[in-house]
Structure 1
Amino acid sequence: MSAVPLKGLKILEFSHTVMGPSAGLLFAELGADVIKIEPAPDGDKTRRLGGFGAGFFSGFNRNKRSLSINLKMAEGQATIHRLIPKVDVVLENFGPGTMERLGCGYKHLAPLNERLVYLALKGYLAGPYENRPALDEVVQFQSGLAWMTGPPGQPLRAGASVVDILGAMFGVIGVQAALRELDHTGAGQRISSSLFESAVFLMSTHMAGMAATGLEARPMPARRGAWAIYDVFNTKGDGQLFIGVTSDQQWKRFVAEFGLEELASDPRLETNVTRLGEREWLLPALQEVLLQYSQKELESRCEHSNISWAPVGQPKDLFEDPHLKATDGLVDVFISKFGEDIGKMTGLPAVPIEFGIERKRPGVRLQPPKIGEHNQEILLEYGFEKNEIDSLYKANVLTDYHKIKINSDLD
């Protein structure tokens, strides 16, 4: 099977920040021709983010082409409308009403192509909240995800844009379902996924657990776990290692590996259920034992006894991770400095999907585009004449990176 199964699918992406670009990235990585529509004259504002957002554009916009066009002008809207009959999918993640004001809402585009699938990535699905502004962090707090993540009384957002990306993934799944239905009906449709409902979906097990036990979910740092040994332990030399002993067989291997005969024969520790009731003294006892070993020694012993373990890693560690480096888990992406034509090639995570018995991974066909880099190429492909394109430039409907100086919006 090819690692580009969506080759031939044509997508217009109207997006910014994370949710829309990550949906477009998934399509692009799988072979779709994704055209990123950027506002003229300044391009996607995500290019200018600093701080936490400095990697957003480079991280989510490879394998795309850029068309920079002023949609506040009638000529810009008319240009987009001319593309639509040849497009399979439109995706957008702007606030409620934005695309409608720009003449590119579903009601504007669907009459131009009855087979069009339109993906709207929003903060909320239909209901009382649907016109509220929303962000990843907002819905993490609203849904209970932040409450479950931090210690009691200290709600904490997750350390990555997990809800943005999850919502994008649900949107991509919805589009694939709509394209499948299109094969049978010949009719496109509007699809929507959202941040809030995606975050709520993550709470499913906590809600089900409450229904099953009658007990309210507790924040993860204060939880009563399902397994007795499922914790971070300190090692000799200030290291840290997560160790998870998730079955009675693993417990037997664990105590045998470390020569803990007294614990192995203790009837209070015979099963996971009984061990759960002994955590108060058992965990400090294990910590005292494990402090005798360096992190590397513990890793080796856990590996030898087939126990689940992991170092407490940081993002910087992933650049040199031996597994990722050996398996095409990192792909070379050009990281620009605030959108300027300077930067460096850096290994970034590949989409985590393998295809076929060859276990092929999607790769990089196009580096993240410069603003309007593909204006002429795209419009010529879609039937515009050269003189029409020149006229759009003269009228400031189109712009590109030759005409723009990028300044960063530093925190």
Structure 2
Amino acid sequence: MTHLPLAGRRVIELGTMVAAPFATHILSQLGAEVIKVEPPTGDTTRALVRGGPSGTFIAYNHGKKSLSIALDTPEGRDVFRRLVASADIVIHNLSPSATRKLQITADDLAAVNPRLIYCHIRGYAAGPQHDDLATNPVAEASTGVMDDHRIDGRPSRLGPSYHDQFAGAYGVIRILATLLQPAPTAEERRIEIGLYETGLHVAARDLAGVQLKMQLLGRPEKEGGGEFSMPGYGAYQVNDGRWLYLLVLTDAHWQKLATALGMPEADDPALAKLRERKKQRERVEAAVRAAVGKLGFDEAAERLRAAGVGFSEVLPLERVLAAPQARQPGKLRDLDYRGLHFEAPEFPGQAECSPGLPPPELGEHTVELLRGLGFDERACAALVEQRAVAVAREGDFAWAPVRPEASGKA
């Protein structure tokens, strides 16, 4: 196995839900030791599915160690400070008020470990809303994404927490950039990633586009999204009920598509250019729907592949990992967890997947880590008795049994 670049680095995560756990998931996949510090109540995602761990917890927390600390106790804070002194990086996504209350601000932790890289993923970075709360959908609402995504006319969140994940990835990029510097300053060791600022960056293309239209046209005209601005680009149903997503970005793509599907429009010079196809959007869309709808999936796929047209079947989640492309070495990590088997997608770019830890039970590694910090057996027992730390207990966060009548509905 290739030596991983962050091997030997210790990362402390105080994370909940998605943003910080996703960031430390990436750091773990790059070789870092990630210690997930959780309160005695555990990460919220430990109890989201029938009282037990959710897909989010399983996907983004395998390979980590769990240390359960009550940071609101003096003894717990002492344990945490010792841990911080041993670490290279701390990353968290707690609210600004909780960060101050628990005494885990950048100043607090720099006093313990001046060489620490500190990354706080929060609602907003510097500005008048610095202490305001924001979540993934709030970032979507405030940066234009939600206005473009409407269900029955009502602005709605996208579904997946992409802004959380982008923010986590941006945090990793900043951390790696800091590690590359031979002598980062104290300020450079303090990283703030705002969900709002993440949303701005993700929306940069659309924000630049609306400014362009304002200056060219004098009005804030916007397209309904990339696929709707290019007729023939999008999802179309074949005659056996499955769906194809067609990639038609250029005039050359259009010509290949129309020819592959035997469309008479392939020979129409009035449709050769995108600008003209946009003017006849309804005609083009109807023609593509009709041509695709005459074919079964296998025949349509064969024709499109032979013509060099980009496409994919629109797959439901339960079929995604069965695709031959997903089965190639280095793409899926086998995880056995609580008697169940999972295949977790690996960090992109791996050639192979090495065995790793399953998702940890709450406090599973508490005693092991305390001993590594210099606490002897008696001190460990005292901390547990004082409820300054917690250890794993059988039956915690168990999935409720599925009743026969409820099977498939949970």
Q: Counterpart of 2:139 in structure 1: which amino acid?
A: V
TM alignment of 1:220-239, pairs within 5 A: 220=224, 225=229, 227-239=230-242
Partner-residue secondary structure (3-state), 1:331: strand
Task: Identify the range of structure 1 (188-197 vs 270-279) with the bigger mean alpha-carbon deviation.
Answer: 270-279
Aligned match of 2:406: none
Aligned match of 1:192: 192
Shift of 1:327: 3.5
Partner-residue secondary structure (3-state), 1:124: coil
Counterpart CA distance in 2 for 1:186 and 1:205 is 33
Q: Deviations over 1:6-47 (max 9, x none)?
A: 11111111111111111111111111000000112x322321
What is the TM-score when the length of structure 1 is the normalising length? 0.89
Aligned match of 2:160: 160
Q: Counterpart of 1:348 in structure 2: which amino acid?
A: A
Counterpart of 1:252 (choices 252, 255, 277) is: 255
Q: Residues 242 and 312 of structure 1 are in contact (CA less than 8 Å); yes or no, is this contact kept in structure 2?
A: yes
Is structure 2 residue 44 aligned with structure 1 residue 45? Answer: yes
Aligned match of 1:348: 344
> Could you tell me the percent identity over the aligned residues?
27
Q: Counterpart of 2:43 in structure 1: which amino acid?
A: D
Counterpart CA distance in 2 for 1:212 and 1:186 is 39
Counterpart CA distance in 2 for 1:345 and 1:220 is 41
Shift of 1:151: 5.6
Aligned match of 1:170: 170
Shift of 1:328: 3.2
Shift of 1:263: 2.2
Counterpart CA distance in 2 for 1:387 and 1:200 is 52
Is structure 2 residue 373 aligned with structure 1 residue 370? Answer: no
Counterpart CA distance in 2 for 1:19 and 1:186 is 25
Aligned match of 2:407: none
Shift of 1:122: 0.3
Q: Greater relative contact order: 1 or 2 (C-alpha under 8 angstroms, separation 6 or more)?
A: 1
Counterpart CA distance in 2 for 1:32 and 1:268 is 58
TM alignment of 1:103-118, pairs within 5 A: 103-118=103-118
Counterpart of 2:335 (choices 333, 341, 356) is: 333
- Residue correspondences, number: 396
Aligned match of 1:121: 121
Classify 1:364/1:196 alpha carbon distance in 2 versus 1 (closer, same or farther; 3 Å).
farther
Aligned match of 1:85: 85
Q: Counterpart of 2:342 in structure 1: which amino acid?
A: T
Classify 1:53/1:299 alpha carbon distance in 2 versus 1 (closer, same or farther; 3 Å).
farther
Counterpart CA distance in 1 for 2:245 and 2:265 is 20
Q: Residues 228 and 234 of structure 2 are in contact (CA less than 8 Å); yes or no, is this contact kept in structure 1?
A: no
Q: Residues 23 and 168 of structure 2 are in contact (CA less than 8 Å); yes or no, is this contact kept in structure 1?
A: yes
Aligned match of 1:401: 392
Shift of 1:58: 1.2
Aligned match of 2:299: 297
Q: Deviations over 1:45-69 (max 9, x none)?
A: 3211237982221121011001111
TM alignment of 1:4-153, pairs within 5 A: 4-40=4-40, 42-50=41-49, 54-150=54-150, 153=153
Q: Counterpart of 2:372 in structure 1: which amino acid?
A: E
TM alignment of 1:199-218, pairs within 5 A: 199-214=199-214, 215-216=219-220, 218=222
Please give the root-mean-square deviation of Cα atoms over the aligned residues, in Å: 2.5
Counterpart CA distance in 2 for 1:8 and 1:53 is 29
Task: Identify the range of structure 1 (51-60 vs 172-181) with the bigger mean alpha-carbon deviation.
Answer: 51-60
Counterpart CA distance in 2 for 1:408 and 1:97 is 32
Q: Residues 231 and 244 of structure 1 are in contact (CA less than 8 Å); yes or no, is this contact kept in structure 2?
A: yes
For structure 2, list consecutive stretches of 5 or more residues without a partner in the other structure.
402-409
Q: Counterpart of 1:279 in structure 2: which amino acid?
A: R
Counterpart CA distance in 1 for 2:271 and 2:44 is 57
Aligned match of 2:405: none
For structure 1, list consecutive stretches of 5 or more residues without a partner in the other structure.
336-341, 355-359
Q: Counterpart of 2:340 in structure 1: which amino acid?
A: K
Partner-residue secondary structure (3-state), 1:119: strand
TM alignment of 1:263-282, pairs within 5 A: 263-282=265-284
Counterpart CA distance in 2 for 1:278 and 1:191 is 50
Counterpart of 1:384 (choices 375, 388, 403) is: 375
Q: Deviations over 1:305-359 (max 9, x none)?
A: 1111121222212131221112432222345xxxxxx3401112212233xxxxx
Classify 1:222/1:361 alpha carbon distance in 2 versus 1 (closer, same or farther; 3 Å).
closer
Q: Counterpart of 2:107 in structure 1: which amino acid?
A: K
Aligned match of 1:287: 289
Counterpart CA distance in 1 for 2:115 and 2:323 is 44
Counterpart CA distance in 2 for 1:30 and 1:205 is 30
Shift of 1:296: 2.0
Aligned match of 1:338: none
Q: Counterpart of 2:293 in structure 1: which amino acid?
A: L
Counterpart CA distance in 1 for 2:146 and 2:115 is 40
Q: Deviations over 1:154-203 (max 9, x none)?
A: 3221121101101111111111122223x224756210102111112222
